[in-house]
Structure 1
């Protein structure tokens, strides 16, 4: 019987792929704590020895299906169409897990869901997946990675159902699986001519608004207490208004796999909470 051996919300913001000297300049002499947080997260993942990692990719937008990558192997060189002046020429070479992707699709059909496996040699990679693969060194450890999309014509209950399908597929397998929700919490960008409130650009006071800062801190506190049910209860009245990245698809799918509103896994912050162009970013680990 397979099981989820750990889960995490993980920031992937592209500034973390810039060189350390530039990051320190942006940080008024200090590097982003999200970089050190990747090392802390890497130790957590290495300790539970996953057979496969599922990344809920908040940049892979699909319509009509929750897609899961079913390719056996991915190799190429990535250039971001969003920020090609510095996020370019990134080589990648990592394994997928086709059998597991097909198992997810089979369980989805049985449960009346909308998860579908796809394997297409021309399908582009997204940096919400690749940045994690690089920082968490999945290429070096030869850990298989399966990415799951954020289907844009979905409500929160659809994301939870997608995650429940993946959780059931894991239970029916013989795999130990780590789930990574790749994305920010509040995701309002500041304007192009924005002037920072604090010289350390990463500082939380540079977030898009005091309201989004308060909302993110509330969500983090509830995660630490394991009260995911409270997050769901307040979703429409609070967190939806803070515009979580990809409608919160990354977190909601992860949570669906972990049991949805019944989940009481307590979150352990593995980094400081930081700003990135107005968005709220943090790494939070949940033990199985």
Structure 2
């Protein structure tokens, strides 16, 4: 572990009805291949034994994505990170799921980007929160898909975390590496809490730019933004303070995976994810276009329209 150890270590303390997620997304600059490794700790709402599970997806350009699952396996409460059978995440990543194996190390600056306010993550005062402990990491190692081998050398990506009382009712997510150490992170979600579940998606947007992290308070800034979720992406429009913001995210039909899984209360979920998404981002007089290098997802409960 590194200086961000508190943001990578498991936060679960035995409470029922909790969800904890560690996920890593990577783009190989040499081949354009995207990689998604998703680890979950699920503590059922009925007080049953907690368990770990997850999946890995490989997005090779021009080919159907490969999705493989691991677990479930009993949670043995490791002191740090995530362990599920042969799969581990403790700052490095290693594991096997179906036809996919991986052994990866990461490097780069480790200053957490708080998509939600810092207090929301540290004090756990909201139903859930997401942070990015390693927003501009670089990954090296080997990923094997059957008899094919992908060697990563300083591939850009990020490690992110989620902790809370379960999944949102609907959500959209974006991680965009803007180059030169700059990133944009977006979580646009509808809460499951009664009353809040009738509101439109609340978009929390955080940039890490050369001049610092923008906006200062992403929750307060969300009041000036509006998000529209689609089954193939989402859009965010409005203002961050005095600066106009526009974000359009699209998941390519042939390079998107659908994943079925369950909330801690047992309700079925579906998410659509692509590590080869496109994103168009404009903030005041700056703009960025990502084609096949944006990491994005939309999801929600099975009984509603995403």
TM-score > 0.5 by shorter chain: no
- The one of the two structures with greater contact order (alpha-carbon pairs below 8 A, sep at least 6) is 1
* TM-score using structure 2 length: 0.29
Q: Report the structure, 1 or 2, having the larger strand content.
A: 2
